Amino acid sequence: MSKNPGYHGVLLHIDLTTSKSEKVAIAPADLDKFVGGQGLGMKILWDRLKKPGINPLSPENPLIFMPGPFSGLPVPSSSRTCVVTKSPITSPMKSDYDHASTVSYSNMGGFFGPEIRFAGYDGLVITGKAPELSYVVIDDDKVEIREGKRFKGMRTDVFDKVFLDALGDRRFKTVYIGPAGENLVPYASILHTAGRAAGRGGMGCVMGSKNLKAIAVKGSGQPGVADHQRFLAALDKARSALYGTAYAKNWAEQGTARAIVANSNAGTEAVRNYREGTFPEADKIGGDAARRDVWVKDIACYCCPLACKKSGITKGKYGGIVHDGPEYETGVMLGSNLLISDMPGLLKAITTLDDLGLDQISTGNVIGFLMEAYEKGLINLGFLDGIDLKWGSVDATLAMIEKIAAKDGVGALAAEGVRALSWHIGKGSEKFAIQVKGLELAAHNIQANQPRGLSYVTASRGACHMSGDNIAMQNRRAMLDSTGMCFFPTFEPALEEPMLAMLSAITGHEYDKAEFEKAGERIFNLEKLFNYREGFRRADDRLPDRFFEDAFTVGPKKGAVLDRNQFDAMLTQYYKDRGWDPETTRPEKEKLHELGLDSI
């Protein structure tokens, strides 16, 4: 029994090299300081990688699946699982270590995190490498590593069905990789229940490097709480803040797809490899069009009243069942960014990427970069293996997706990301290679949105739109991703007070707003220490030249472009406000003492 109410107090550590598993106790102080999810995952990563420069694809690099203290309890929208590891795609400009890279974390919804807690664990830590393709089955205390060669090369849609049949019990919750992960594409993703993904930062690549095709978990228990009556009272308030409200109904109506048209109208969308912020045909791929022509069902994650996941059917050349999408990121990166306005074609691309197990954001970036390089004559049909990769071409996009997942021909180079492509092509192409630290930007353009540029350059995992546009947002979001709660419902102000009360009632540790944000600051600073130890400095907090040189030519923000001096001054002030050295970005000793990170 854990000394911290609300936690089991144990991790399940599985070593694929030795085929052994064991329960490992979690230090009570770590639960108080780092909570769960992203925070506790980061602390585990720090403790297990005791020196910098370890190869992310080595057996030593842990792959950590972390729910939070809300997971497995009937807390609204408490579905999230944070996957934490060392990134296989990022690197600093200069380092003393060949395999220097950032921390990487990716957050997915669904049902996997709660099931980990039902099985009696606060997280899973996977190390080692299986001698052949394998999968793990966890049924409460029973843990097995099984041979999985028959699943080799299987795409995720088929695998999801076949795997559950093989397990013989549909109560298992599963995560798995597709061919891209098996082929070690650095931006491969981990999939869960057809369309939910830990997509960013190469999680599927690390899983593939361990010869691990899938994990299945089933549990029969439930986590406890420290103060049951207080928890129930706060839970009732949280439900009242969300269930049946206009806010929840808006999410259920269109999910994030609503923003496809809204952000285009605002001039902050990624269009034509980030050359523009407005897509004139955004209405053809936005939420209204999807609701009218595609979606037939709204689907929710564990205990979620928002039901923002959609499914439907398209017809014609690209027709078929749609498991998810368009969401904002997928709809923009494979739609607006590539000038694709054919809804069935867009959804075919989204479905294919999930089926192969590729990150939608990075892949859309890579294809957009290649389209621009081809348009400018920097590469030719020969370079592209005969694929006529023109703006708006669905067929060419689908062909390139297949090439990337298989690492076939040009796909082998494209699989390394836009930075590697620009290094190979040269000819000034680095100016429009849209990445920070090696990780491609998300679907929010920044010529007219300087704060989002700050988020991209200071985020711990490389370019990240979810990190937050200022210090307060970054601290808060790091903590939110440590609780197991989804980000989307937290836009509702009425949820904040009961959320803090529930967290206090579950854990036995008292959280007011200040304590909540301080915990998030501690987590964010530990991530910074990890990156700094790997060799990342201020020179790595750098945006591509496009955002300072290529002003928008259309839309409401026509003429918008970032000012280098203003952005640099904002960055200097950010470091000072963070308590970091503005020249090196190293956290100052006073800040580490304030956050209780002295020993680290």
Strands 212-218 and 134-139: parallel
* pLDDT (average), residues 515-523: 98
Banded pLDDT at 1 (limits 50, 70, 90):
very low
Span 310-335, pLDDT tens digits? 999 999 999 998 888 899 999 999 99
- Residue 531 has phi, psi (to 5 degrees) of -65, -40
In angstroms and rounded to an integer, the radius of gyration of the C-alpha atoms of the chain is 22
Q: HSE (CB half, 13 Å, CA atoms) of 396?
A: 20
Domain spans in the chain, listed from the N-terminal domain onward: 10-218, 450-483+511-594
Question: How far apart (Å, rounded) are the C-alpha atoms in residues 510 and 506?
Answer: 10
What does the block give as tokens for 316?
């014609």
Residue 599 pLDDT class (50, 70, 90 cuts): confident
Topology alike, domains 10-218 and 450-483+511-594: no
Mean pLDDT over 126-144 rounds to 98
What pLDDT, on a 0 to 100 scale, did the predictor assign at position 588? 97
Q: pLDDT tens-digit profile of 236-268?
A: 999 999 988 888 888 899 999 999 999 999 999
- Gap between the Cα atoms of 488 and 360, Å rounded: 20
Q: What is the pLDDT of residues 97-112, one digit of tens each?
A: 999 999 999 999 999 9
Confidence bin at 182 (pLDDT 50/70/90)? very high
Q: Which pLDDT does position 4 carry in this prediction? A: 79
Residue 584, SS3?
A: coil
Whether pLDDT at 180 is above 50? yes
| Average pLDDT score over the chain | 96
- B/e letters for 241-271, b = 16+ CB within 10 Å, e = fewer, are bbeeeebbeebbbbbbbbbbbebbbbbbbbb
The topology (CATH level 3) of 450-483+511-594 is: 1.10.599
Secondary structure in 3-state letters for 235-302: HHHHHHHHCCCHHHHHHHHHHHHHHHHHHHHHCCECECCCCECCCCCHHHCCHHHHHHHCEEEEECCC
pLDDT of residue 2: 60
pLDDT in tens, 380-434: 999 999 999 999 999 999 999 999 999 999 999 999 999 999 999 999 999 999 9
Q: Residue 448: is its pLDDT beyond 60? A: yes
pLDDT one-digit tens code per residue, 565-587: 999 999 999 999 999 999 999 99
- For residue 326, the one-letter residue type is P
For 10-218, CATH gives 3.60.9.10
